[in-house]
């Protein structure tokens, strides 16, 4: 029987170690080290090395587990357990010297995420949770806040950078939110957005065209902190459905109506 609590602590330590490596490399990356995987999707040796370190060590924790990893270090598929890894969420920030990026690791058992760890490197903030636990930030319990009106809310999102399918509706929604909330923030790391939502810094996070490694750990942590996690239809297809809403439950109905109006 795997102790998820002990395993989560091992993952926390590993993410911190990998985060230290990433931070040390920040000033060493040169333009010639940057590759373009697809439109506006960048990668460097830092992402690849960080992922290799994560995969090598996570494989020791659960030898039979597979991997869903952004840089494709391993294509092993586990029958029960699979790690979902983003070694450097916020690569564009990292490469441009913008100090918000993170290491994100989740463990999926069958169809359910059961561990989530997000380490925000520059603030030295590690967010984590495991199945049945509360959510934590550096050892302290965190919860979503209880804001009950969108007018009092701070909203987080990510601007479309390659998939413009919903662009018109998206900007109409932003126009509405700009007029009727305390403001909109675009940090550049979905994992960080989600854990900031978990600890009450944001009231709502929504975005589309995301991959499982972008959201798995952060969304699970937010869920354990009391957030509702769903897709734009108000259903549960957020992990692989490429759209997500993380929200304080008291705002769910009001915000869902806006999503349905502008993005469905």
Tens of pLDDT, residues 182-229: 999 999 999 999 999 999 999 999 999 999 999 999 999 999 999 999
Encode pLDDT of 47-83 as tens digits. Answer: 999 999 999 999 999 999 999 998 889 999 999 999 9
What pLDDT was estimated at residue 39? 55
Please indicate, yes or no, whether residues 116 and 188 belong to a single structural domain of this protein: no
pLDDT one-digit tens code per residue, 24-39: 998 887 777 667 765 5
**Angstrom distance (rounded) from CA 57 to CA 11:** 9
Answer yes or no: do 114 and 157 share one domain. no
Q: What is the CATH number of the domain that holds 175?
A: 3.40.190.80
CATH of the domain at 93: 3.30.540.10
Boundary-marking domain end, from 142, 164, 187? 142
- Please report the pLDDT score of residue 42 as a whole number: 57
Q: What pLDDT was estimated at residue 40? A: 46
Distance CA 204, CA 194 (A): 9
Pair (178, 223) in one structural domain: yes
The CA–CA distances, whole Å, from 201 to 13, 205, 239 equal 24, 11, 22
Q: What is the pLDDT confidence band of residue 41, given thresholds at 50, 70 and 90?
A: low
Write down the mean pLDDT value for the chain. Answer: 94
Between the alpha carbon of residue 55 and those of residues 5, 60, 78, 114, the distances in Å are 20, 9, 13, 18
| Full strand arrangement of the beta sheet holding 112-120 | 66-69, 81-89, 102-109, 112-120, 125-130, 135-137, 140-142
Domain encompassing residue 70: 4-142
Are 133 and 170 contained in the same domain? Answer: no
The Cα-based distances of 29 to 3, 46, 48, 150, 203 in angstroms read: 38, 8, 13, 41, 35
Instruction: Count CA within 13 A, CB hemisphere, residue 140.
Output: 7
Assess whether 75 and 159 both reside in one domain: no
């Amino acid at each position: 029987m795997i102790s998820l609590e002990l395993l989560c602590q091992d993952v926390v330590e590993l993410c911190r170690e990998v985060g230290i490596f990433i931070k040390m490399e920040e000033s060493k990356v040169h333009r010639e080290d940057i590759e373009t995987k697809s439109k506006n999707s960048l990668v460097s040796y830092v992402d690849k090395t960080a992922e290799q370190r994560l995969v090598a060590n996570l494989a020791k924790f659960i030898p039979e587990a597979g991997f869903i990893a952004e840089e494709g270090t391993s294509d092993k598929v586990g029958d029960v357990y699979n790690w979902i890894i983003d070694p450097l969420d916020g690569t564009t920030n990292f490469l441009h010297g913008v100090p918000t990026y993170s290491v994100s690791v989740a463990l999926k058992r069958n169809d359910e995420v059961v561990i989530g760890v997000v380490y925000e490197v520059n603030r030295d903030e590690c967010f984590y949770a495991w199945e049945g636990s509360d959510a934590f930030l550096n050892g302290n319990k965190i919860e979503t806040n209880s804001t009950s009106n969108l007018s009092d809310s701070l909203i987080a999102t990510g601007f479309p950078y390659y998939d413009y399918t919903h662009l018109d509706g998206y900007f109409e929604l932003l126009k509405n939110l700009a007029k009727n909330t305390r403001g909109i923030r675009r940090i550049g790391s979905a994992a960080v957005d989600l854990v900031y939502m978990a600890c009450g810094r944001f009231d709502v996070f929504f975005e589309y065209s995301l991959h499982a490694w972008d959201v798995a750990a952060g969304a699970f942590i937010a869920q354990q902190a009391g957030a509702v996690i769903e897709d734009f239809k108000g259903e549960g297809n957020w992990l692989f459905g490429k759209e997500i809403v993380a929200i304080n439950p008291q705002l769910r109905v009001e915000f869902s109506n806006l999503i349905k109006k502008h993005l469905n």
